[in-house]
Amino acid sequence: MSNIQFPANFINSLSNAPGFDAQKFIAAHQNSPSPTTIRANPYKPAPIYKGVQVPWCPEGFYLAERPSFTFDPLFHAGCYYVQEASSMFIAHILQYIRSENDDTLKVLDLCAAPGGKSTLLSSALNSDDLLVANEIIKTRVPILTDNLTKWGPSNIIASNNDPKDFNRLKGFFDIILVDAPCSGSGMFRKDPDAMNEWSEANVNLCHQRQERILADIYPALAGDGYLIYSTCSYSVAENEAVLDWLCTEFDLESIRISINKEWGIVESQSDRHKAWGYRFYPGKVQGEGLFAACLRKTTATGSNPSNYKNKNTQKPDYKSIDLLKPYIKDADNYYYFKVGDDWLAIDREHKDALGILQQHLYLKKSGVRLGSIAGKDLVPDHELALSLIINKDAVLQTGLTREQAIAYLRRDNIPDLDPTEKGWSLMTFENQPLGWAKLLPNRINNYYPKEMRILASPPAL
């Protein structure tokens, strides 16, 4: 690899960073390419690429080489997510929290796009837990909702709100993940262009932004709840210094997470409060730069979510709901509601939480969008096709070869497909749904969403 020119004063700025080894760090950036890693979707077992397991995440795998994910139908079916290995450590923290608390959890991923950590959290949660994936920047919301749709669970709500908006939900969440905007030095190897944005002034600006975000979101954390804080920065100012600020300003105590020394993760402590942090350095771990920490709110009191009133309950339309139920596995386990002309479903135990969130936040996705009813028929939505709640036995299915699946995902004519049955069909590859098509006597209408279609040309066979 070429000789990397780090920003001026960058290496010197890390001289006091815990565990920083300049020689190993520089060598890793110059001589070791960023590893390619994926994380399997436990809800959608399929013949995906697999290699050496990521040690802190059972569903994570290092691949020997980077395949063309764009032209793998199982990627579009949501059978796996392409995610940097270090980021998967958040699942290890959640595993610790779950070992300490087996109650039903309400979890917020505050800065969620593009969805890697949200799908990671989703895999570690139970169906009676609720995940709210929020993205602050409006233009990043569509990629978040697309990735959540691919993943498939029905216990996820996506929102587009500023952190201060969550002040209306005091004590609502048991776990809040703040993967904070940062100076991005942890991504230098993976994205060398990020070096152009780095400066000590930007580090200080990010530190201030991180404090504002955390101060805004803190009231929404329940008593005894957990705050997970992470960045992709090596800077002490954005990491350990933020932990000291949190422990000074709020009722928070640091939680030490058990790690295996062989993983190469550097365990650090902040100067003042000795708060525990976990640092990932290329050259010491097989992954990119990450800092992560977990804190617990020491005050047991706070607003109980049950005190909130759900004012948005709709009067049930049992006639329409009866038309929907055949399409849903364990149909009585869900609450059905309308948004515009479309019907949606969410796990019944989340009905009240949904109503509360609808009052206080701007929601972009709630549970699974099933589709609209025309006469006595359901016009199915793409979300239903990729969801885990679809009753596949109730719909026509058309299996596709890899070539046909890629054509379907490009919204091209599907070669050599002459189905004998007609009507709405779930188009599948390796028994995994990709989306809908309507099979007509003389043509096939492709209903794969235009905004999600593959735009690149497939490689020559």
* Catalytic (active-site) positions: 232
Give the orientation angle of helix 116-124 with respect to helix 141-151, to 10 degrees.
30
Q: Taking phi first (over 0 means left), then psi (-120 to 50 degrees means alpha), and beta for anything else, what does residue 318 get? A: alpha
For residue 19, say whether it is annotated as part of any ligand binding site: no
Please give the Cα distance from 289 to 352 (Å, whole number): 39
In 232-318, beta strands by DSSP E: 252-255, 266-269, 276-280, 290-297
For residue 116, say whether it is annotated as part of any ligand binding site: yes
For residue 162, say whether it is annotated as part of any ligand binding site: yes
Please give the Cα distance from 126 to 149 (Å, whole number): 17
The answer to whether 272 and 244 have CB atoms below 8 angstroms apart is yes
Pull the structure tokens for residue 27: 């060598």
Q: Which amino acid is it at 363?
A: L
DSSP reduced 3-state for 236: helix
Place of tokens 């099979």: 439
The DSSP annotation for 227-291 comes to: EEEEES---GGGTHHHHHHHHHHSSEEEEPPP--GGG-PEEEE-TTT--EEEEE-BTTBSS--EE
For residue 57, say whether it is annotated as part of any ligand binding site: no
For residue 355, say whether it is annotated as part of any ligand binding site: no
For residue 111, say whether it is annotated as part of any ligand binding site: yes
For residue 135, say whether it is annotated as part of any ligand binding site: yes
For residue 117, say whether it is annotated as part of any ligand binding site: yes
Q: Which residues are annotated as a binding site?
A: 111-117, 135, 162, 179
Q: Which residues are annotated as a binding site for S-adenosyl-L-methionine?
A: 111-117, 135, 162, 179
